[in-house]
Amino acid sequence: MASKELLGMLNKAIARELQVSIQYMWQHVQWSGVKGFAVQDELEKIAIAEMKHAEAIAERLFYLGGIPTTKPTEIVVGKTLKEMVKRDIKDEENAITLYKGIIEQVRKEKDQTTEILFMNILKDEEEHHDTFTTLLEDLK
């Protein structure tokens, strides 16, 4: 079975995925103007992808003997497009760091299934980070 440390890390990942899925969806709803119109659909797609990550991590956590959290980390929608994107970049950077840590931990615990799950999620998060950093360049 998984260590308490790993179960805690997975719950932290779930809380983060819940946070950004709500945050990005609300940003999608609130974006306005020409620049907002251009990225609304992409933001909605990312929000849905993040919710699917939460589901996959929760299923894995439950299989490993943990109980998935229902509480997201702090949601910060932002007031301006620039403020929103800067926050989203920070949240994606935090996810990348957390998920690399989870990958290290599951390698120690010889849990290849969780490793594969997080390698795939990490790839998605790096793509999201790239999307947001590109958006920020366009907002300067």
The predicted-structure confidence for 99-114, as pLDDT tens digits, reads as follows 999 999 999 999 999 9
User: Where are the alpha helices (H) located in the chain, listed in sequence order?
Assistant: 4-30, 33-63, 81-108, 112-139
Q: pLDDT: is 73 or 140 the higher one?
A: 73
State the average pLDDT over residues 5-11.
Answer: 98
In CATH, the number for domain 4-139 is 1.20.1260.10
> Which pLDDT value is given to residue 14?
98
The predicted-structure confidence for 59-84, as pLDDT tens digits, reads as follows 999 999 999 999 999 999 998 888 99
Domain ranges of the chain: 4-139
Provide, rounded to the nearest whole percent, the portion of the chain with pLDDT above 70: 97
Q: Is the pLDDT of residue 33 over 80?
A: no
Q: How many whole angstroms from its chain centre is CA 40?
A: 18
Q: How confident is the model at residue 40 (pLDDT cuts 50, 70, 90)?
A: confident
> Which pLDDT value is given to residue 140?
64
Between CA 69 and CA 90 the distance in angstroms is 22
- Helix 33-63 and helix 81-108: axis angle, to 10°? 20
Q: List the single range of 34-43, 90-99, 106-115 with lowest mean pLDDT.
A: 34-43
